A and B are shown apart, each in its own frame.
Chain A
């Protein structure tokens, strides 16, 4: 069987709240990273507060509707980002959000590798029917990466975001389990 937590460039772990808070406190100071990852204004939170937030999320132990991973590189075992999945079991769907805080790992295939691991987890371990995501129009790098992973652009919310005086669309993408299975066949042949 395939290793669920090991890709070509990265592996999935779940780091301690202290380590995640320390990394997050540093990553949030990079404006471009925050603006690509989120639409909320950057609020520079203290490491203490971020850790309290992680602790709060972890109360009551692991929950089936929320799966979080930390991401480490295979080569240097460096903690470079995160990936989270929100599961809706009733409709057999999940939403994914991810980020690479260490910018020297941008544009090198790490994000696509993370996404492929996520798809494998969602379709081959959770057995869900669909995986969804959203991104900002001004993030063409992410769009290309998601297309490469087989996501289709399904719609756009027009001009729902203001950045530096310009309005931008939000894009919505999805991939179905059958499409993913089809892709797997292609890759194995």
Chain B
């Protein structure tokens, strides 16, 4: 089990870190030019962004963190060389109900299917349940994001909602799922 001293932001091969306003925008700009990635991350229209635009987004994000106090955002970096490989966030926190949603993305195609997402989710859940003391965490996933579906099921998430044919992409309708995990379920796994 974990204790107070166990590091929250250090995984096996990855770590969570703050935004680097100088270096990160260019990397994230590249990710936004990959429409496959953008369609996995969001149900809003994908669009490529310049580094300058990404920088503006970071500033907006930090302002939102300050004002709304319902969002925790992390950059996922490789421990070996501190290279930016993805992002992880707990957002839409409702403090009175102790619940929130999560977001997770590994940006570059060559970094996917290497277990980084799994390590990041493990860290993100510990942050949600043992640092924010949340009661439940939800994740919204389109039907076509098979990697995310597999990952959530591996971590014991339960499919709770299916919004039938809620999305349209490539001229086809897709379901949108909401998955949920409770604190006690996470604790059971963490112990086992």
Q: B-side interface residues toward A, CB under 8 Å?
A: 1-9, 15-21, 58, 62, 65, 72-75, 127, 130-133, 187
Contact = CB atoms under 8 A, between A and B. Distances in A.
Given A29-B16, A44-B75, A46-B19, 11 more contacts: A28-B18, A31-B6, A41-B132, A42-B9, A43-B72, A44-B18, A45-B62, A48-B19, A164-B1, A164-B3, A164-B4
11 contacts: A31-B5, A41-B132, A44-B17, A44-B72, A44-B75, A45-B18, A46-B19, A46-B20, A46-B21, A48-B21, A164-B2
Contact of B9 (A25, A31, A138): A31
A30 B7 contact: yes
A164 B127 CA distance: 10
Q: How large is the interface on A (under 10, 10 to 19, 20 to 34, 35 or more residues)?
A: 20 to 34
A163 B9 CA distance: 16
A41 B62 contact: no
A48 B24 CA distance: 13
Contacts of B74: 44
> Quick one: which of A32, A43, A138 has the most chain B CB within 10 A?
A43
B7 A165 contact: no
Contacts of B127: 41
Interface in A2-52: 25, 28-32, 35, 41-49
A162 interface: yes
Contacts of B21: 46-48
Contacts of A47: 18, 20-21
Given A44-B17, A46-B21, A47-B18, A32 B65 contact: no
Contacts of A164: 1-4, 130
List of 5 A-B pairs having minimum Cβ-Cβ separation, nearest first: A46-B19, A44-B18, A31-B8, A46-B18, A48-B21
Nearest to A50: B18
A185 B106 CA distance: 62
Contact of A49 (B3, B8, B62): B62
Nearest to B58: A46
Nearest to A49: B62
